[in-house]
Amino acid sequence: MKKKLTIRDIAAQAGVSPATVSLVLNGKGEITSETRTRVLEAVARLEYTPRAAKTATDDTETLRFLKIAKHGHTVNRDHSVFISDYIDGMSLEASRRKYKLEVVSFEGQPISQIAESLTGSAVSGVIALGTELSEQDIRLIQAVGLPTVFIDTYYDVIDANFVDMNNEDAVFKVLSRFKQSGFERIGFVASYVETTNFKLRRDAYFKNMARLGLTPRDEDVLSIESTYEGAYSDMVELLRSGIDLAPCYFCTNDVIAYGVIRALREFNVRIPQEVSVIGFDNLPQSATMEPSLTTIEVSKRKIGNLAVTVLDDIVKSSDRQPPVKVLVGAELIVRASDVPPPVPSAKTGSKSKIKVPAV
């Protein structure tokens, strides 16, 4: 049986006294930022999750949402709409359950500093935007001991609470759409920016291609930056290299799709006549651009709503609760950026390849 950890174990790992560990975990005492960070990192390494004790001064009616932009490649102005949708869902459910919701934004701060800001906070629970967080980051925030739910990310093997979109289900819908339209060669525009949802979509692409009896080609899996300008610039470079384009692409998100489409147009590639494109997120611009973008819609308000529901159950429970991991299903929004491929000619027997010349 695994030994139950104590604050003495944390103290030994951090090289401080048990009393210092207790002060850090309870947000008390005049502890230097360096020492507090060292203790929190030790807590995260040992996966020690203390239960924060409530005091008479605790504000039991407040939940805090942490809007965290660790590197800003995905949590940025381009995605402000879906952050607002998360907040709308949280706010409505928090109000229904008699909580106040406060929103605190962090841009570029160390995660240890964000965790430190929570120690001793007069809040009942925390919802953290996990889009850009690593496994270690999640453990650091958990180490504070407050009931916490992470949204827009998901880890199978971390004992934490997650509410996220069902990426595998969503990608299956995209690839099924392409296959039903007659495509067999299906490309994927991935991103080298590290986020969990990007990785899950990449994994889901390969898994679902196999599930549908399709064979992915290495040259049809592109990897580009995740901001609009970055995606556009990277795609331009790929087109200049003279890549052999697939007849259709699933893009990791809508912003990447916008950059890809802009680059393709500059090289006189017609969409959807020559290359079909499907995105992910259903941002407002997807409906108004030309051509309008076929994309995946996942209710961000529902995710926000469920995060508060899960958090409320944890806050009100007198016993330690097992981790809750919720995945919200997706809907394919069909618009004009993808169409069935042209009927193969008797001469070629397949769709002709699009070769973009180097410039």
Phi and psi based region of residue 345 (left: phi greater than 0; alpha: psi -120 to 50; beta: remaining):
beta
Specify the 3-state DSSP secondary structure of 278.
Answer: strand
Domain ranges of the chain: 1-48, 167-298+333-355
Q: How much is the pLDDT for 20?
A: 82
pTM: 0.81
| CATH classification code of 167-298+333-355 | 3.40.50.2300
Torsion over CA: 282, 284, 287, 290 (sign): negative
| Pairing relationship of beta strands 161-165 and 325-328 according to DSSP bridges | parallel
Q: How much is the pLDDT for 29?
A: 63
Specify the 3-state DSSP secondary structure of 107.
Answer: strand
Q: What is the pLDDT along the chain (359 residues), one digit of tens a residue?
A: 456 678 788 888 888 887 787 777 766 666 776 777 777 777 777 767 665 444 444 445 899 999 999 998 888 877 678 888 999 999 999 999 999 999 999 999 999 999 999 988 889 999 999 999 999 999 999 999 999 999 999 999 999 999 999 999 999 999 999 999 999 999 999 999 999 999 999 999 999 999 999 999 999 999 999 999 999 999 999 999 999 999 999 999 999 999 999 999 999 999 999 999 999 999 999 999 999 999 999 999 999 999 999 999 999 998 888 999 999 999 999 999 998 766 654 333 344 455 554 44
Phi first, then psi: give them for residue 265, nearest 5 degrees.
-65, -35
Q: How much is the pLDDT for 348?
A: 31
Q: How far is CA 326 from CA 181, 241, 319, in A?
A: 32, 42, 20
Q: How many CB atoms lie within 10 A of CB 250?
A: 29
Assess contact for 275 and 269: CB atoms under 8 A: yes
CATH class of 1-48: mainly alpha
